[in-house]
Amino acid sequence: MTSKTASLPRVSARERLLAAADELFYGNGINTVGIDRVIERAGVAKASLYDCFGSKDELVRSYLQGRSDARRARINDRLSQYDSPEEKILAIFDLLGEVASQPGFRGCAFVRAGDANSSEKVKGVCEESRAFMLGKFTDLAREAGVADPELFGKQLVLLYDGASIAAHMDRSHNAASTARTLAAQMLSAGADVPGAQSKRALKRSR
């Protein structure tokens, strides 16, 4: 008789190391967690880390890349549920509120990792992730008919960053909803689209 344990899919050393890194780096910070602690949590041999990643720096980069890919997929999936660009912009703030309300939320992993002491590889992943957010907001602002979509996109990123920091640092449970309200007001004031159409889109998303 085959046991249930034997039928479970085998988790590779790389996957176990990434899972441990995601938990420890995000929860405690990449500069305070050493590789020995990651190896112990993953339950693998020390040689496995170097076989899979070569260094802690590459492990950190891979951890952040995984978080970046997951956030991108999460946002794109949520946006696919809406039609208008106004609704999509506000949905990003709704999603942030859901993520920020989860136990263990520690703010933006990329803001925390991209300090002056980070390597170029780590900074590169952080910059790519932030460029995605700016690009997404800017593209949606352009679709919404905002007069200056580049500026509007930067303003939305500031709102998004501020809400994320407040949710973590101030334990503010309504930071994302407050940022959403401000974004809705900005859209109502700054979109070069027929007023009735814009207002209907905002009302549907509330």
**Distance between CA atoms of 182 and 179, rounded to whole angstroms?**
5
Tell me, yes or no, whether 188 and 117 share the same domain. Answer: yes
| Residue numbers of the domain that contains 106 | 63-204
Note the pTM of the prediction, 2 decimals.
0.84
Tell me, yes or no, whether 94 and 36 share the same domain. Answer: no
Q: Are 187 and 89 in contact (CB under 8 A)?
A: yes
**Distance between CA atoms of 109 and 25, rounded to whole angstroms?**
9
Return the pLDDT at 116: 56
The CATH number assigned to the domain holding 41 equals 1.10.10.60
DSSP assignment letter at 32: T
* Backbone φ, ψ for residue 122 (5° rounding): -65, -45
> For residue 3, is it within any domain?
no
**Distance between CA atoms of 121 and 118, rounded to whole angstroms?**
8
Return the pLDDT at 196: 36
> For residue 6, is it within any domain?
no
> For residue 118, is it within any domain?
yes
Tell me, yes or no, whether 40 and 95 share the same domain. Answer: no
Tell me, yes or no, whether 99 and 198 share the same domain. Answer: yes
Tell me, yes or no, whether 40 and 107 share the same domain. Answer: no
- For the chain, 206 residues long, the average pLDDT of each consecutive 10-residue run is 54 94 93 93 94 94 96 97 97 96 91 77 92 97 95 97 93 92 92 45 50
